Amino acid sequence: MKYVNEYRQKASIEKISREIARITTRPWTIMEVCGGQTHAIVKYGLQQFLPDSVELVHGPGCPVCVTSLEIIDQAMALAARPEIIFCSFGDMLRVPGSERDLLSVKAAGGDVRLVYSPLNAVELAEQNPDREVVFFAIGFETTAPANAMAAFLARQKRLRNFSMLVSHFLVPPAIETICSAEDNRVQGFLAAGHVCTVTGYEQYFALAQTYRIPVVVTGFEPLDVLEGVLMCVRQLEQGHYTVENQYRRAVRQQGNIPAQQLLEQVFEVSSQSWRGVGKLHHSGLRLRSAFSAFDAACKFELTLPSARDDSGCISGEIMQGRKKPGECPHFGRDCRPELPLGAPMVSSEGACAAYYRYHRPVIE
């Protein structure tokens, strides 16, 4: 496939690998923010193309992993109601709530449907005027415009039976939280390329200056990730702290303006609870009051007692790059993809799922 295969050629990868080794004089710790990048790194074994002194640690960029237990329990409660068709991206179906996951709600008779696009949920609402359709609108900035469009179209089509359970996260506040932690050991960031297709990267300049940390907007193919590392190491070795764009073919500095305008109309910035991390100011999106008719949490008056997250999953430490999956006592033992204790073992972007699938260390 064009724009895929040419970024996976071994000769090119080795050339970049040699250049990274040539310019590296000291140990560096770099975090890739997005779970999609984590998967590419583990799947293609990209760490082996880096000198031992360059360590990649995995970041918080997996919305499935950071969606709070309260919201997941709300999803279960909605999905179990007989009048509701509950629509979700596939990644969410196996994420454990306090007691069960969406697939087990479906097995017990709940009408849970997997959708590829939020527009599929809007279509379902049009096709089923006598049922309530609730879409589980999760994601980062990459997914937010698509979810915003679903709400916008539903309003335009005057759909009264469509609503969204919103769990949206913004990436820059999470990066800032990691930078400002006392025990932070991350020295450079590979920013999430697809998030930046929407947002652009102007907002990262202040972050790079404040924390004296290079930020390189990076793509997802093996060659992209390695070039991102090269650009980051080059800055670190030269004592530069700025924002660079490796993913030039898809990302412009100003981002996608029509997408930003749509987001502005539908959503507003709010505080948000990150599973395993806690509440972060200005780190989420919620529907504006003009769209409150499409807010499932209001429509169905959802109030659930806040649940205790005591599965033993150390997702917070995994998501902030403090620990790697192999350091978790449950990894590969009582936490596996078919029986996960937490979301990082479920999601196609979770670090634990990636390690389990592609890179399992020997387990005693």
Partner 1 sequence: MCLAVPGRVEEFLNHSPLERSAHVSFGGIRKVINLALVPEAVIGDYVIVHVGFAISRIDEAQAQQIFRDLEEIGMRGRLAEE
- Minimum CB separation of residue 20 from partner 1 in Å reads 10
- Minimum CB separation of residue 126 from partner 1 in Å reads 12
Contact between 63 and partner 1 (CB under 8 A)? yes
Return the exposure string of 126-144: e unless at least 16 CB atoms fall within 10 Å of the residue's CB, then b.
eeeeeebbbbbbbbbbbbb
- Minimum CB separation of residue 301 from partner 1 in Å reads 28
Q: Which is nearer to partner 1, 262 or 314 (by Cβ)?
A: 262
Contact between 8 and partner 1 (CB under 8 A)? no
Per CB under 8 A, the list member of 24, 38, 68, 142 interacting with partner 1 is 142
Contact between 280 and partner 1 (CB under 8 A)? no
Contact between 124 and partner 1 (CB under 8 A)? no
**CA–CA distances in Å: residue 51 to residues 32, 56, 269, 300, 323:** 17, 11, 40, 54, 20
Per CB under 8 A, the list member of 22, 185, 212, 281 interacting with partner 1 is 22
Q: How far apart are CA 23 and CA 36, in angstroms?
A: 27
Per CB under 8 A, the list member of 269, 307, 348, 359 interacting with partner 1 is 348
- Residues 311-340: x where in contact with partner 1 by CB under 8 A, - otherwise, as a string: ------------------------------
Q: Identify residues 155-174 at the interface with partner 1 (CB under 8 A).
A: 156
Phi-psi region of 159 (alpha: psi -120 to 50; beta: other; left: phi over 0): beta
Contact between 16 and partner 1 (CB under 8 A)? yes
Contact between 265 and partner 1 (CB under 8 A)? no
- Closest alpha carbon to 30 in 51, 10, 12, 45: 51
Per CB under 8 A, the list member of 10, 15, 212, 240 interacting with partner 1 is 15
Contact between 48 and partner 1 (CB under 8 A)? no
Per CB under 8 A, the list member of 72, 85, 159, 262 interacting with partner 1 is 262
- Relative to beta strand 278-287, strand 267-274 is antiparallel
Contact between 259 and partner 1 (CB under 8 A)? yes
Per CB under 8 A, the list member of 46, 79, 192, 341 interacting with partner 1 is 192
- Minimum CB separation of residue 33 from partner 1 in Å reads 10
Q: Identify residues 214-233 at the interface with partner 1 (CB under 8 A).
A: 223-224, 227
- Minimum CB separation of residue 275 from partner 1 in Å reads 14
Q: Identify residues 26-45 at the interface with partner 1 (CB under 8 A).
A: 34-36
Contact between 347 and partner 1 (CB under 8 A)? yes
Per CB under 8 A, the list member of 30, 42, 93, 195 interacting with partner 1 is 195
Contact between 89 and partner 1 (CB under 8 A)? yes
Per CB under 8 A, the list member of 116, 305, 329, 363 interacting with partner 1 is 116
Q: Which residues bind partner 1 (CB under 8 A)?
A: 1-4, 6-7, 12, 15-16, 18-19, 22, 34-36, 61-64, 89, 91, 116-120, 138-140, 142-143, 145-146, 149, 152-153, 156, 192, 194-195, 197-198, 223-224, 227, 248-251, 256, 258-259, 262, 347-349
